[in-house]
């Protein structure tokens, strides 16, 4: 009885997609034929135009650009932004950032904006750091220990997933029994 419900759901889903695809096709009579040749009058008018091209008015309305807010960065913060811009070019370079609260962050710069940057300091976690929150200019570091630590974390994630793979058939058997 359980298999018939699965097949019914599969049939209904595939029928939905087939019907959607069938109605998405355009009908032959909807598309009219386009003129492939010009009449003599149209040719004469086109030759009179010569090299003068009259631009057609755009049908799309012009989109107004909002003014960018004025950033009030100190000269020191501007130097931080320039340093981050130079360091952020290399996606594999680790950067050492000191924050005013005494914390030190080491990671890779993933995104740079006018007011700050994103520092990826874990295997998944990223942190937004405004230029106003920096205590000193960020500097490049080899971060060999950080690379090794992140490698061990990724290896742990891989081993965890590999350990859970044999449990998947058991989970589906228990789930079918409910």
Is 117 among the domain residues? yes
Write the DSSP symbol of residue 28.
G
Q: What is the pLDDT of residues 23-64, one digit of tens each?
A: 665 555 555 666 667 677 877 777 777 655 545 555 666 777
Is 80 among the domain residues? yes
Total domain count for the chain?
1
Average pLDDT over the chain, rounded to whole? 78
Residue-level pLDDT at 118:
92
Is 158 among the domain residues? no
Cβ-Cβ contacts under 8 Å for 18 (sequence gap 6 or more): none
Question: Distance between CA atoms of 123 and 153, rounded to whole angstroms?
Answer: 7
Question: Distance between CA atoms of 2 and 122, rounded to whole angstroms?
Answer: 45
- CB neighbours of residue 135 within 10 Å: 13
Question: Distance between CA atoms of 18 and 10, rounded to whole angstroms?
Answer: 12
Grouping H, G, I as helix, E, B as strand and the rest as coil, residue 119 is strand
Kindly state the tokens that stand for 15. Answer: 């029928």
Range of the domain at 127: 75-142
CA distances from 79 to 123, 134, 157, 166 (A): 29, 11, 39, 54
Is 138 among the domain residues? yes
pLDDT tops 70 at residue 88: yes
Residue-level pLDDT at 70:
62
For the chain, give the percent of residues with pLDDT over 90: 8
Is 125 among the domain residues? yes
Question: Distance between CA atoms of 143 and 95, rounded to whole angstroms?
Answer: 8
CA distances from 84 to 45, 75, 88, 91, 132 (A): 60, 14, 6, 12, 13
pLDDT tops 80 at residue 157: yes
Q: How confident is the model at residue 149 (pLDDT cuts 50, 70, 90)?
A: confident
Is 107 among the domain residues? yes
Cβ(104)–Cβ(98) below 8 Å: yes
Residue-level pLDDT at 16:
74
Is 50 among the domain residues? no
Grouping H, G, I as helix, E, B as strand and the rest as coil, residue 102 is coil
Residue-level pLDDT at 74:
84
Question: Distance between CA atoms of 105 and 22, rounded to whole angstroms?
Answer: 56
Q: What is the CATH number of the domain that holds 123?
A: 2.30.30.100
119-147: average pLDDT: 86
Is 124 among the domain residues? yes
For the chain, how far is it from start to end, CA to CA, in angstroms? 13
Q: Which residue has the higher pLDDT, 84 or 28?
A: 84
């Amino acid at each position: 009885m359980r298999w018939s419900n699965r097949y019914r759901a599969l049939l209904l889903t595939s029928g939905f997609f087939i019907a959607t695809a069938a109605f998405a096709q355009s009908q032959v009579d909807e598309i009219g034929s386009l003129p492939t040749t010009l009449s003599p009058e149209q040719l004469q008018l086109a030759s009179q135009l010569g090299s003068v091209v009259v631009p057609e008015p755009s049908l799309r309305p012009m989109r107004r650009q909002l003014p960018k807010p004025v950033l009030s960065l100190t000269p020191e913060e501007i130097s931080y932004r320039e340093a981050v811009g130079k360091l952020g070019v290399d996606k594999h370079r680790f950067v050492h950032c000191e924050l005013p609260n005494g914390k030190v962050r080491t990671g890779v710069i993933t995104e740079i904006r006018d007011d700050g940057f994103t520092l990826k300091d874990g295997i998944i976690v990223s942190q937004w750091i405004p230029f106003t929150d920096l205590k000193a200019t960020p500097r490049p570091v080899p971060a060999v220990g950080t690379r090794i630590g992140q490698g061990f974390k990724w290896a742990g994630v891989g081993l965890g997933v590999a350990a859970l793979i044999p449990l998947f058939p058991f989970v589906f058997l228990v789930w079918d029994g409910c």
